[in-house]
Amino acid sequence: LERFHQEVQAAAQLDHPNIVAVYEVGDVGGEPFYTMRYVKGKSLSALLRDGPVPNRQAADYAVQVAQAISEAHRHGILHRDLKPQNILIDSRKDRPLVTDFGLAKRVEADSDLTRSGQILGTPSYMPPEQASGKIDAISEASDVYALGAILYCLLTGRPPFQADNQIDTLMQVLDQAPVSPRVLNPKIPKDLETVCLKCLE
């Protein structure tokens, strides 16, 4: 219930064309609810089932998501769970919208719903500090890492790290460098690869 309220409070603060808006918060018969904008389309994850998207489209999506996360950071909010499943593509405008602030954290908050040592998020898209459970080390740069992982997936059709199970994926995040995107897709422009890998640094 606390996480529910945390997500509502985080999302309700943000007014940006690339963030799914929260319209109403309430309680019906003891059941809390909130209503959000309906997005006609599908998730970025569903879109990527067909493989990587064209380079220009990948860059355009990444820029828009980065602008949305920059707005969250300006309000002192870290998303902490950026991944293709949490980005919806509005089919009417071909526009990505960030959603699911369930793991969001206010940068200046005194309390947290997590403890050091807990690993929250999705291994293929989380930075090393998050993968190792160092919750206090998570910062705006952690969301930038996740943006780089999303761009990597947009360009190559797969995340920078993936294994048969979550533990092995976490170990890859902690111990390995990602394969160069141009090894997986030689058509990626060098500058776009550089941006992607810089985010992952």
From 113, 112, 130, 114, select the one nearest 122 (Cα to Cα): 130
One of 15, 81, 90, 168 is an active-site residue; which one? 81
Q: Phi/psi of residue 169, each to 5°? A: -65, -45
81 catalytic, yes or no?
Answer: yes
From 143, 59, 137, select the one nearest 101 (Cα to Cα): 143
Catalytic residues: 81
